[in-house]
Amino acid sequence: MEYKKVVRAIMANRKLRLPQQLNAIKQNVSAGQYKLALKTNPLFNKFLHKTPYFSDIKQIYIKEPFSFTGDLKKEFKWLSDNLENYLEEINDFILLKNEFEGYILLCDYEKAANVVVKVEGLYGVTLWSIDANLILEEHLNGSEANWNKLSYYLGEIKNSIYEFIINSNSKRAEKKLEYESYINQFQNDIDNVHANDIIKDFFVFKNFNLANYEYRFDRLESVLYVANIFSVIDQYLILIDVILYNTALDDSNDRLFSPYIKKLINVVPNDHKILNLYNVTNRDNKFVKIENSKDIIQCSNYYYSGDFTKAFELSDAGIDLFPNNFEYYIIYSKSLLNQQLDFVPKKTSPLIVDVLRNTYNLLSFKNGAKDSFDNLLKTSLSHMNTSFGKQIYGLLSEIEGQTGIHFKLAILNAPTNSYKAPYFGENRPQIFKNFIEMSKEHSFKICSFKLNNEVELEADFTRSKAQELSLNATREYKKECFGEVVKILTETNVLDENSYYYERKNGLLFNSYLHLNLIREALLLFGTIQFNDKIITRKLSFFDLYEKIFDTKTKDEFIDLIELPILYSLLVKEYDLYEVYDDFMCSYDIFHIQELDVEDFINKFSLEKTIHFLSKVVTIDTIKYSTDYDSINDVEEDRVSVLNILIDINPTEKLNYQKEIDEIYRINAVRKVLKEVDEGRLFIDVDNLKELQIKKFKSEFQRFKEIEHSGSLQALIGFNPSNTKNWENILTEKNVTEDKYNSADYLAFKNIYLESRNNFLYSKEYGLDSSLSTRIRHGALKNHIRSVFEKLELVTSKSHGIYQDNELWKNQLLNYPELNIEVQNKLKDFSNEIDEYCVFIVEKMIQIQTEKNNDIEEGLFQYNTNDKILYAFYTDNKERLNSVEAIIDIILTDLVNYTILSLQKTIAKAFSEIIPKEFQDLIKNIILELRELNLPNECELIPNLTSSSTEIQKELEYLSEWFNLNTTNSSSLLSLETILNASIELTNKINPNYNLTPNIVIEQELLGYSSLIFVFNILLNNVIQHSKLDNDKIKLEITVAKDSTEEYSIIKFTNNLKLNVDYKSNKSKLERIKENWNDHSNIERSNKEGESGYDKIKRILLYEAHAKSDKFDFEINKKEISISLYFPYTEPSIDEEDTNN
């Protein structure tokens, strides 16, 4: 009487209100005494039974589930006790439910609808009736009506649990939504709702219990707990499903459920599942006959006696009479297949015919019937909450060699007694006594025999030799006499003649080989199965074979089999595949793919296997691990050779192979362009600069020469602006400047030098600063550096001036909300530090410094000079300064040499020491701070920061190569498509959160220089920045075409825009750009950061790409924007000699 004490204590606590008192009872009273405890106060039951049904949709509310006990017994008793008052009504409901399911199978939706109306009239609105209504809408009025109905429900029932379930119901009902799509959508939904474990278990169980999903509460106490919130109808359906699940899993809760099931067999006899549960679980050797079982047993008996004609006749009639018994469908199909007969369609409902046809096709295992599995999966999903759906899924599990939970659930869901009951015998020996009445039935005996139970079977138990062999082999397999299985199955070819048995034979043989560790035999059989294009095999786990091989110490016994790398190619890739590929090749003394004799391979291994080997094993990703290759280009060359061999030996796939070759060439071309671009980022056109300066300094040179000549007679002094001025002391102190620096000839030279240097550095056409600005500073450098951290999810971008939270870490720290806040704050600081330092690098370090602007102290490009240096330079070269060409050549050569020799050392040092150190410090600091927070093990933040430490070094090392000065333009003309591809590749690389995949339409083939890549980069970055769209929303099209007048070639970028964003300012900017397109007076602005990218485009087109565009246009509306660059089109001149040839 312990409960009395507990209840008394609860009642004595005046702070507890009624629901709290009930909760305390649920938590503290033992499960077996709930009923007694609740009787102590009539208010308890009054509260609990306030609303058993929701009379209409508006009445639906979340009934009180109280607190979760985490105890299966308590949750089961709490729920089942509360249902006891309603069992008779539930029994009546089950009758109507069965009626509804029958009408659905017969596609009689009107009658089915009437049943649902009746159910809702009697028992109100339930999850069951909502599901039924959605199914009916889908079938009667189509998916749109289903969605409208869903929308109605969602509008009326504003509760997340209902919403989730109803949404899933609607999707399951959708005829066109494939099984895979449902799984994906469901998984997305479950991931996104971030439900707690209890609710998550419930959602999965209620909406997708076909999956082999790992439940956190594996006995589903969580599901029972959530069930409390629904109407009693739903509570019952969920309760029985949970009992069925547990019973199919094992016998550990039979004692808990048995008394309740025993009670139900008398009160809810309409539910056949209860009767099956009782027959399997009771320990009283009791058996309840289920109506109409005799017919299916008789039909099964005929089938297992090998009388397939009779079995077919009975199953044919059985389907008409009992369409909800899927066992008839199986025997119908197998009887036809045993007689090697084609499918015979029945005159019945389209749904039944469809299921029957798919069952026949599935069991035929013919390659042409691959869809049947998916079709049946879809049907089982649509009927997931019915016994019929569960029976179908049971067959699908069996086909895949799984006779576990879903297979057993199918037996428990059968509407009749099942001869397959012996499958429960392993854990429940009592069932053979329970089923004593059925044990004389032939099909029951055969099932027992298969499962290696003691059973007396006549010698000629079947007329079918194939059936006999198959059953004997199955029994031996169950006995674990795998050698015997191999003997039975390899002694004769009888099973090879019928695809139904051939599939079984292969399954048993393959798994026996695995058990016997006969890997060579298993691999050979794998090869036979894999390349048999007529048969599908589902029971084989090639992964098991792979694992067996993986665990084998030596592969010597089978390393010469081509099946080995072929098997691996189905399951692994990259180095894992390379290992066996290399071992296999070495076993034939082939040390390089070029040594392969294809004819010999085909003779040795067959054409099909050679084709698979060459196409799927000898790929770039595999062979790249060979140390024979020094670069990826060599790997690609060999892959192209392999693809050419494939074109010869497998011409039907020529298009695909050619496509891969084209893709390799495309990637190769893109790589070359990117290499050329990187190597030539810092480009000073010295030849043009020379030409320009020779013209420009002609008169100055003459002046210099004149001064030099007169100076040789009498020293001329000039004004040297470089002299240090000390205006305060100038009147009292003697000017200490050496006279030689004021010599007129030196000053004349100095003028030429300084101006020449100025051109070298700042010429808008050919100077260094232009290169720095357009190719390095303009986004590129910062984006490259930032991309390292972005890729590893270590920095976020700003929104309205504030760094956003990082979603990845937020999800990984979902269970640690306070820790997450600290981590996010630290990452925001880190983002800010990285960004600030990037800005510092670009704005302060990648700058030119001369004595004129030595305010930029950190500028790496230091071209400072002074009289001492310059005078020494002057005197060293004075003798050679005898022509304008010579003087310009000497000055420019000196500047180039200085840039290449001295400056590049400084830059290399900056990029290998100074800048990396700063980043290392930033990374080290945040790691130290994060370590103090003791992040949970599953959080990958610190490993990612550690990776960034090496990654940033690599990136900086790569970036330092951008500063290798190029003085000759060796760029070749490339196809515009290649340049566009390279530009997209580069843009995506430096924007890891975006992956632009534009549709490129080339209507006119054009050629251009690689520097056009910078033009396209600016346009692509504009798309990312100005469209304000997320990565997956950007739709970009790039067209290259002639305009209608044929005067111009047009390159047009068109992309969509974010709705409801004001683009007025963009429009007015573009108008100004259009208006001033041919005005190049402001082009020097292009060297300043933050100025329009279009000035940079103009400069690149004019001076670097030699592709001056004299027209610019744009269109902008609410939905999209397009930018067009116009290039004057000239017809290619025809070389007469070529034409003549």
Partner 1 sequence: MKKILIIEDDKIKIERLKDFFKKDDITLKESFKSGVKELKDNFSNYDFLILDMTIPLWEKGHNDLGGNYEQFGGEKVLREMNRRKLLLPTILFTMFDVFPTKDGNITFDEIDTIFKKQFPNFYMGAVLYISNEDNWKNNITNLISQID
Binds partner 1 (CB under 8 A): choice among 23, 751, 944, 1004: 944
Is the Cα dihedral 297, 298, 303, 304 positive or negative?
positive
Tokens for 272, please give them: 């056949």
Binds partner 1 (CB under 8 A): choice among 732, 937, 972, 1130: 937
- Which range binds partner 1 by CB under 8 A, 293-301, 393-401, 668-676, 1111-1119? 668-676
705-764: contacts with partner 1 (CB under 8 A): none
- Which CB atom, from 41 or from 993, has the smaller least distance to partner 1? 993
* CB 705 to partner 1: min, Å: 48
- Which CB atom, from 802 or from 928, has the smaller least distance to partner 1? 928
Binds partner 1 (CB under 8 A): choice among 259, 404, 651, 943: 943
Collapsing DSSP to helix, strand or coil, 1056 comes out as strand
Residue 904 makes contact with partner 1 by CB under 8 A: no
Using only the alpha carbons of the chain, give its radius of gyration: 41
Binds partner 1 (CB under 8 A): choice among 12, 459, 901, 928: 928
* CB 948 to partner 1: min, Å: 11
Cβ-Cβ contacts under 8 Å for 196 (sequence gap 6 or more): none
Return the amino acid letter for 341: L
- Which CB atom, from 188 or from 633, has the smaller least distance to partner 1? 633
- Which CB atom, from 126 or from 988, has the smaller least distance to partner 1? 988
Residue 528 makes contact with partner 1 by CB under 8 A: no
The DSSP bridge pattern shows strands 798-799 and 802-803 to be: antiparallel
b/e 449-466 (16+ beta carbons within 10 angstroms → b): bbbbbebeeeeebbebeb
Collapsing DSSP to helix, strand or coil, 1000 comes out as strand
Residue 912 makes contact with partner 1 by CB under 8 A: yes
- Which range binds partner 1 by CB under 8 A, 386-394, 517-525, 932-940, 1088-1096? 932-940
* CB 536 to partner 1: min, Å: 29
Residue 631 makes contact with partner 1 by CB under 8 A: yes
- Which range binds partner 1 by CB under 8 A, 67-75, 396-404, 874-882, 941-949? 941-949
Residue 924 makes contact with partner 1 by CB under 8 A: yes
- Which range binds partner 1 by CB under 8 A, 75-83, 244-252, 601-609, 664-672? 664-672
Residue 630 makes contact with partner 1 by CB under 8 A: yes
DSSP type of residue 535: B
* CB 989 to partner 1: min, Å: 8
DSSP type of residue 1087: G
* CB 903 to partner 1: min, Å: 21
- Which CB atom, from 20 or from 906, has the smaller least distance to partner 1? 906
Cβ-Cβ contacts under 8 Å for 122 (sequence gap 6 or more): 89, 92, 93, 96
Collapsing DSSP to helix, strand or coil, 352 comes out as helix
- Please give the Cα distance from 115 to 111 (Å, whole number): 6
How many CB atoms within 10 Å of residue 1101? 21
Residue 667 makes contact with partner 1 by CB under 8 A: yes
Binds partner 1 (CB under 8 A): choice among 392, 674, 881, 930: 674
**Closest C-alpha among 618, 609, 620 to residue 580:** 618
- Which range binds partner 1 by CB under 8 A, 22-30, 507-515, 619-627, 1060-1068? 619-627
**Closest C-alpha among 707, 745, 752, 744 to residue 885:** 752
Residue 992 makes contact with partner 1 by CB under 8 A: no
How many CB atoms within 10 Å of residue 397? 20
**Closest C-alpha among 228, 261, 234 to residue 82:** 228
- Please give the Cα distance from 198 to 414 (Å, whole number): 30
- Which range binds partner 1 by CB under 8 A, 794-802, 884-892, 946-954, 1107-1115? 946-954
The DSSP bridge pattern shows strands 1036-1042 and 1048-1056 to be: antiparallel
- Which CB atom, from 579 or from 1037, has the smaller least distance to partner 1? 579
Residue 213 makes contact with partner 1 by CB under 8 A: no
Q: Give all strands (DSSP E) within 835-886, no chain letters.
A: 848-849, 861-862
Residue 632 makes contact with partner 1 by CB under 8 A: yes
Binds partner 1 (CB under 8 A): choice among 313, 560, 579, 889: 579
* CB 809 to partner 1: min, Å: 13
Residue 583 makes contact with partner 1 by CB under 8 A: yes
Binds partner 1 (CB under 8 A): choice among 66, 542, 625, 898: 625
Residues in contact with partner 1, shown as a per-residue x/- string from 950 to 969 under the rule CB under 8 A: xx-xx--x------------
Q: Any idea how long the chain is?
A: 1141
* CB 577 to partner 1: min, Å: 12
DSSP type of residue 191: H
Residue 873 makes contact with partner 1 by CB under 8 A: no
- Please give the Cα distance from 872 to 895 (Å, whole number): 15
Residue 227 makes contact with partner 1 by CB under 8 A: no
How many CB atoms within 10 Å of residue 717? 13
* CB 634 to partner 1: min, Å: 9
Residue 587 makes contact with partner 1 by CB under 8 A: no
- Please give the Cα distance from 795 to 838 (Å, whole number): 13
- Which CB atom, from 23 or from 944, has the smaller least distance to partner 1? 944
1042-1081: contacts with partner 1 (CB under 8 A): none
* CB 77 to partner 1: min, Å: 37
- Please give the Cα distance from 175 to 948 (Å, whole number): 48
Is the Cα dihedral 307, 308, 313, 319 positive or negative?
positive
Tokens for 107, please give them: 């596609």
Cβ-Cβ contacts under 8 Å for 262 (sequence gap 6 or more): 278, 282
Collapsing DSSP to helix, strand or coil, 79 comes out as helix
- Which CB atom, from 32 or from 943, has the smaller least distance to partner 1? 943
Is the Cα dihedral 741, 746, 747, 752 positive or negative?
negative
Residue 985 makes contact with partner 1 by CB under 8 A: yes
* CB 924 to partner 1: min, Å: 6
- Which CB atom, from 629 or from 871, has the smaller least distance to partner 1? 629
Q: Judge whether 506 and 540 are in contact, CB under 8 Å.
A: yes
- Please give the Cα distance from 976 to 1010 (Å, whole number): 9
Binds partner 1 (CB under 8 A): choice among 550, 575, 591, 665: 575
- Which CB atom, from 946 or from 1025, has the smaller least distance to partner 1? 946
- Please give the Cα distance from 730 to 401 (Å, whole number): 103
* CB 635 to partner 1: min, Å: 9
Size of the site for partner 1 (CB under 8 A): 36
CA distances from 802 to 766, 799, 806, 825 (A): 40, 5, 12, 11
HEC assignment per residue over 664-721: HHHHHHHHHHHHHHHHCCEECCHHHHHHHHHHHCHHHHHHHHHHHHHHCCCCCECCCC
* CB 487 to partner 1: min, Å: 37
Binds partner 1 (CB under 8 A): choice among 490, 552, 729, 946: 946
* CB 620 to partner 1: min, Å: 8
- Which CB atom, from 659 or from 924, has the smaller least distance to partner 1? 924
* CB 940 to partner 1: min, Å: 4
- Please give the Cα distance from 1141 to 1134 (Å, whole number): 12
CA distances from 287 to 436, 439, 825, 827 (A): 8, 12, 67, 67
Q: Judge whether 1041 and 998 are in contact, CB under 8 Å.
A: no
Binding region for partner 1 (CB under 8 A):
575, 579, 582-583, 624-625, 627, 629-633, 667, 670-671, 674, 912, 916, 920, 924, 928, 937-938, 940, 942-944, 946-947, 949-951, 953-954, 957, 985
